[in-house]
């Protein structure tokens, strides 16, 4: 740290992304990426001509992409905000709506507490219940920014839409942000509720379900007024936040949405396979509606399993936090990857005996 950093940021604890080691080729089940490539149309849309056009600024309004998403969700383009990954939207939401503080769960996406700190916002951390379900009553009548991931990460648990609606109704004077990074893997989206609740900010991403984590493309669906707020912040920071190639890729991906739906179905089938194999090995696995599962074994602790799998070339995610240190988060990859994962886990359990 330099002596120049302002005092407010000196204690900032930055988010730790999942490791991306380059020392050897790993089976990567640690950052919830898709095992499938982007659709064919996306790949062929990035032509040499488009690359030559990189000398020009991109469309700050992202008209084509917005129009495509508006068609997909049957909303107006004015109900859609596009961002350089959904993380940017989360940051903007804390910046814009966190004046009275922000409420989020103790076990959830690690970035929420970072954004609260970054923006100097008081965090009200509401512990999940013993079984890792959301304390819905705890989120009612907060009248501060409410931030919930549905399905939650890293647990994979789904929050029923009726509970979200109760939280929306009891927080009429504050924004409720629902982070749907994983909703395409079997969850139910709250997009429909944005028509009736002007305080609902639904945040989504192309990173997980749409095989584009590296393109950096996230979006929000909400009332026109909320979207206008986000636009104001964008035009006050970085108007060209979605680069040309990503706008093209995103627009094509929306046109080819059926391909991604099929991929999500495959992931869900691979998830069922992995859960049943892990259960045969004695693991307990939380019921997941995401492209990852959260699992623990009574034969080996979470950290050891993570380390031994890494030695064997398989990366999973371990969080050294008291409530969840027994668990690991395992991204669901291709069937072949999950078979190797199960083989390696079986080997490790055999060695541990």
Ligand X SMILES: *Cc1c(COP(=O)(O)O)cnc(C)c1O
Binding residues for ligand X, rule: CB under 6 A, are: 32, 85-87, 109, 149, 153, 179, 181, 205, 207, 213, 218
Helix axes 86-97, 111-118, angle to 10 degrees: 40
Nearer to ligand X, 160 or 172 (CB): 160
Alpha-carbon torsion (309, 313, 314, 316), positive or negative: positive
Minimum CB–partner distance for residue 185 and ligand X (Å)? 12
Q: How are strands ordered across the β-sheet holding 200-205?
A: 80-83, 218-222, 200-205, 176-179, 145-149, 102-105, 123-126
Minimum CB–partner distance for residue 112 and ligand X (Å)? 9
Minimum CB–partner distance for residue 209 and ligand X (Å)? 11
Nearer to ligand X, 86 or 263 (CB): 86
Nearer to ligand X, 153 or 226 (CB): 153
Minimal CB distance to ligand X: which residue?
85
Three-state DSSP class for residue 272: helix
**C-alpha–C-alpha distance, residues 126 and 147, integer Å:** 11
Minimum CB–partner distance for residue 225 and ligand X (Å)? 23
Nearer to ligand X, 214 or 282 (CB): 214
**C-alpha–C-alpha distance, residues 66 and 244, integer Å:** 14
- First-to-final CA distance of the chain: 46
Minimum CB–partner distance for residue 29 and ligand X (Å)? 14
Is 31 buried (19+), middle (13-18) or exposed (0-12) by CB count in 10 A?
middle
Q: Which two tokens stand for residue 295?
A: 């699992």
Is 54 buried (19+), middle (13-18) or exposed (0-12) by CB count in 10 A?
exposed
Q: Which two tokens stand for residue 18?
A: 């999942």
Strands (E), 106-199: 123-126, 145-149, 176-179
Nearer to ligand X, 39 or 205 (CB): 205
Minimum CB–partner distance for residue 150 and ligand X (Å)? 9
Report CA 210 to chain centroid distance, whole Å.
Answer: 12
Q: Which two tokens stand for residue 120?
A: 């100097």
Minimum CB–partner distance for residue 308 and ligand X (Å)? 25
Minimum CB–partner distance for residue 348 and ligand X (Å)? 26
Q: Which two tokens stand for residue 339?
A: 């078979």
Nearer to ligand X, 163 or 179 (CB): 179
Nearer to ligand X, 69 or 149 (CB): 149
Nearer to ligand X, 330 or 348 (CB): 330
């Amino acid at each position: 740290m330099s002596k120049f950093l302002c005092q407010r940021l000196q204690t900032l604890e930055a988010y730790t992304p999942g490791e991306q080691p380059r020392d050897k080729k790993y089976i990567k089940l640690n950052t919830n990426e898709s095992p499938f490539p982007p659709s064919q149309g996306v790949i062929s849309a990035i032509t040499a001509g488009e690359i030559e056009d990189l000398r020009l600024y991109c469309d700050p309004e992202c008209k084509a992409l917005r129009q495509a998403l508006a068609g997909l969700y049957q909303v107006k383009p004015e109900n859609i905000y596009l961002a350089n990954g959904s993380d940017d939207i989360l940051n903007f939401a804390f910046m814009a709506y966190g004046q009275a503080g922000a409420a989020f769960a103790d076990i959830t996406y690690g970035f929420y507490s970072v954004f609260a700190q970054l923006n100097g916002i008081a965090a009200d951390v509401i512990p999940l219940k013993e079984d890792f379900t959301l304390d819905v009553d705890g989120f009612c009548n907060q009248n501060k920014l409410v931030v919930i991931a549905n399905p939650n990460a890293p647990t994979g648990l789904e929050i029923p839409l009726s509970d979200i609606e109760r939280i929306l109704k009891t927080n009429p004077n504050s924004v409720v942000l629902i982070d749907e990074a994983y909703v395409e893997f079997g969850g139910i989206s709250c997009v429909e509720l944005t028509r009736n609740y002007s305080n609902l900010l639904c945040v989504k991403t192309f990173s997980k379900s749409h095989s584009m984590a590296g393109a950096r493309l996230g979006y929000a669906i909400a009332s026109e007024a909320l979207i206008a707020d986000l636009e104001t912040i964008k035009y006050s920071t970085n108007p060209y936040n979605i680069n040309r190639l990503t706008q093209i890729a995103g627009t094509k991906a929306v046109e080819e949405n059926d391909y991604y739906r099929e991929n999500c179905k495959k992931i869900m089938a691979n998830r069922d396979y992995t859960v049943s194999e892990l259960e045969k090995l004695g693991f307990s696995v939380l019921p997941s509606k995401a492209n990852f599962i959260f699992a623990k074994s009574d034969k080996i602790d979470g950290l050891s399993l993570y380390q031994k799998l890494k030695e064997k070339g398989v990366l999973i995610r371990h969080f050294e936090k008291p409530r969840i240190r027994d668990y690991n988060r395992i991204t669901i990859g291709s069937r072949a990857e999950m078979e190797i994962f199960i083989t390696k886990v079986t080997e490790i359990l055999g060695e541990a005996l």
